[in-house]
Structure 1
């Protein structure tokens, strides 16, 4: 959990503003949910490994003796917890407010979440997620809207070369069945396959054998991995997708993927087969969350070897709160990862002026000069002159100010000589 100095905070807010503006342009509406949810909801078995990282909140009114007594028995001390993502709160929100929402609800959530991570580069215990979700649309149109909106936001941030890797959990399940893995062992097999980028094909095969997975199934999977074309990311034509999967892939799954590629291509103004379409089919993309039921995707950038966001379809989650199935799909940008890649635009802090004044300048005159500059659209800070003017101006530049002017008694805003900083 980190503090942010003024310049860092301003930069983060500018990036958030760009993302929010692009999402709103695509018809999404922003909501807000509490930072805490009921313990039972956060630990309902739908959050995957994130449930193990939840910060739980002790029941109110417990004194030290009660805590000690409860720790020795079966009583649970916590009844609330800090949210570890924004999807579980959204499901609860929709179940609570469904009557007040449109049939197809497009939501934005941009807020902090908390996980008891072991802190390291790129992983924090408090971090911001930027989520868009569509609830109530079972068609591929929802996935296309999410991907187009996310790519639009990434483009607006100046992140050239970003791509979205796409797969379908139905294709994964079919593929594992084709190799001969039983339904009971597939969840563990997927955990191992999800490590393919880190440990490579040899490591995946070795771990599957160590796990005691079906020998014949592992042999078939290993043979598939050894094909020269298997590990190549594919475009979104039907032939390319079928070439990346074992023979006999179900038409429905392939057709859905092709249609998604066509929709994104149309929105981007390029054909599906074009090399400029920022999509790639990845038959080994897993996404570890257990609630995904269909299409899954991850945002990638060539400058880093980790994903910058991801999401997918989770049609079964909301039904657990509502008592009836409701289709849902979402895409989350990992804000902490993406903000570090954004190059600050030269005009990001345009017309931010430091007014350096002597002690004898009347307060009323300073207020008038500052008000005139603010009314003209500038950001203005008053600073009394110090002996070390250079240090004062360096500090202002570090805080995002781009210019300065000195103010003497009797001067108006029109009389100032504004000079660039740095």
Structure 2
């Protein structure tokens, strides 16, 4: 019986054309972020298990891949099985996001970093998800973070850089959704949710788009939060005509503000909106962002043509303090790369022309290399292919590999200037 040769479930191979498409998108994102003053760093794919399970990652902690300790004995395995403590068998784990590693990185290297550090991280992460369309066990995250700035400039830099990156990719017309964890705390307080259940309640509210108000109400009831009318209140919050007032207004309020509304947080959101001219901004008091480490402003970017978020982030001022013993303000944004890359129609604008030289058998290797040297020096991507009887099949294959032109090479070809380039798309 033949062995299975597919990748592990939830993980993927990428053929050359798709890999080139992804790298082009990543190059655009990196270029925009660098132009906005961010510097790229790299962290290990694994972190200490205790750090990954420190209560910072919300439900994602349950999805972390654990790496078993070396030298475990059958007795160790039996003891863990009896106690139900599987994590005692692991001392490392694959990172499930890039924010926890960044906090550890900053705590390690802070003496070598500027007072306000602007970081780019673009790398794969791993989660033990149930694989399905658009949800993978290994995927790329594109993060920018600002550490050391407690003021609104950090949020504004993150939002403007992200919108600029999406615009550069051709995804214009995005909208920003804003909320603040202080406002969510006010809503939960008005429902009488005890402190020890608030994070669980937020995780449930974060599912509002998927399971609806009635589903959220039912799930909250299983946690012991059985407040009558929660579903109706969620509908009102989601459907009310929330606005941030006229641009330029410093004291805008949504009509008569509810008693639970944290007005300081709301006015901070108004100030953010007023500093982002030309970008549509919506206040959504039901926006949660599932991570447990957010402390203040939270935001997402959505596109009117797609019913899902293209990325999000927020302020997480208490995370780094867990490593240093004193608070350091921090704020970050993550683009949903796997979602946006499927939306892109990546063209060849600004890219070197890619050419296949289809040569006869009798063309000398030295002459081929001379041609290739000339073309590469002019900025082209070049591949050799020997002419075959089924030329159409060959051209279809190199077109699928991302090449856009080909040229026949015979023994009479003298130099690159004499090549006749033919469009593969024709």
TM-score, length-scaled by structure 1: 0.90
Task: Kindly indicate whether the alpha-carbon contact (under 8 Å) linking 1:403 and 1:421 is maintained by their aligned counterparts in 2.
Answer: yes
1:96 matched to 2:131? no
Match of 1:157 in 2: 169
Q: Cα gap change, 1:90/1:315 in structure 2, threshold over 3 Å: closer, same or farther? A: same
Q: Which runs of 5+ in 1 are unaligned?
A: 271-276
Q: Distance in 1 between matches of 2:238 and 2:53?
A: 41
Q: Distance in 1 between matches of 2:225 and 2:81?
A: 39
Q: Which of residues 44, 52, 58 in structure 2 aligns to 1:34?
A: 44
**SS across alignment from 2:320:** helix
Match of 1:199 in 2: 211
Task: Kindly indicate whether the alpha-carbon contact (under 8 Å) linking 2:252 and 2:270 is maintained by their aligned counterparts in 1.
Answer: no
**SS across alignment from 1:10:** helix
Match of 1:274 in 2: none
Q: Which of residues 162, 169, 177 in structure 1 aligns to 2:189?
A: 177
1:417 matched to 2:426? no
Q: Cα gap change, 1:241/1:290 in structure 2, threshold over 3 Å: closer, same or farther? A: farther
Q: Which of residues 298, 301, 305 in structure 2 aligns to 1:299?
A: 301
Q: Distance in 1 between matches of 2:321 and 2:237?
A: 42
Q: What root-mean-square deviation, in Å, do the aligned CA atoms of Structure 1 and Structure 2 show?
A: 2.3
Stretch moving more, 392-401 or 74-83: 74-83
Q: Cα gap change, 1:229/1:52 in structure 2, threshold over 3 Å: closer, same or farther? A: closer
Displacement of 1:344 after TM fit? 1.9
Q: Cα gap change, 1:236/1:138 in structure 2, threshold over 3 Å: closer, same or farther? A: farther
Match of 1:114 in 2: 126
Task: Kindly indicate whether the alpha-carbon contact (under 8 Å) linking 2:190 and 2:260 is maintained by their aligned counterparts in 1.
Answer: no
1:53 matched to 2:69? no
Task: Kindly indicate whether the alpha-carbon contact (under 8 Å) linking 1:351 and 1:377 is maintained by their aligned counterparts in 2.
Answer: yes
Match of 1:389 in 2: 391
Displacement of 1:61 after TM fit? 4.4
User: After superposition, what is the alpha-carbon deviation per residue over 1:22-68, rounded to whole angstroms, capped at 9, x for unaligned?
Assistant: 111111100000111111111111111111111111223457x5764
1:366 matched to 2:368? yes
Q: Cα gap change, 1:52/1:250 in structure 2, threshold over 3 Å: closer, same or farther? A: closer
Stretch moving more, 66-75 or 149-158: 66-75
Q: Cα gap change, 1:181/1:406 in structure 2, threshold over 3 Å: closer, same or farther? A: same
Q: Cα gap change, 1:321/1:19 in structure 2, threshold over 3 Å: closer, same or farther? A: same
User: After superposition, what is the alpha-carbon deviation per residue over 1:106-155, rounded to whole angstroms, capped at 9, x for unaligned?
Assistant: 00000000111111111111100000000011111111110111001011
TM-score, length-scaled by structure 2: 0.89
Stretch moving more, 171-180 or 147-156: 171-180
Q: Distance in 1 between matches of 2:207 and 2:260?
A: 26
Q: Cα gap change, 1:241/1:312 in structure 2, threshold over 3 Å: closer, same or farther? A: farther
Match of 2:330 in 1: 328
Q: Distance in 2 between matches of 1:229 and 1:36?
A: 39
Q: Cα gap change, 1:50/1:185 in structure 2, threshold over 3 Å: closer, same or farther? A: closer
- Correspondence 1:312-327 to 2 at 5 A: 312-327=314-329
| Large movers: runs of 4+ above 6 Å | none
Q: Distance in 1 between matches of 2:130 and 2:260?
A: 43
Displacement of 1:382 after TM fit? 0.5
**SS across alignment from 2:306:** coil
User: After superposition, what is the alpha-carbon deviation per residue over 1:171-209, rounded to whole angstroms, capped at 9, x for unaligned?
Assistant: 110122234434344333323322222233343344444
**SS across alignment from 1:383:** strand
**SS across alignment from 1:242:** coil
Match of 1:403 in 2: 405
Task: Kindly indicate whether the alpha-carbon contact (under 8 Å) linking 2:189 and 2:260 is maintained by their aligned counterparts in 1.
Answer: no
Number of paired residues?
408
Q: Cα gap change, 1:241/1:398 in structure 2, threshold over 3 Å: closer, same or farther? A: farther
Q: Distance in 2 between matches of 1:389 and 1:418?
A: 15
Task: Kindly indicate whether the alpha-carbon contact (under 8 Å) linking 2:273 and 2:281 is maintained by their aligned counterparts in 1.
Answer: yes
Stretch moving more, 206-215 or 165-174: 206-215
Match of 1:260 in 2: 272
1:84 matched to 2:86? no
**SS across alignment from 1:264:** coil
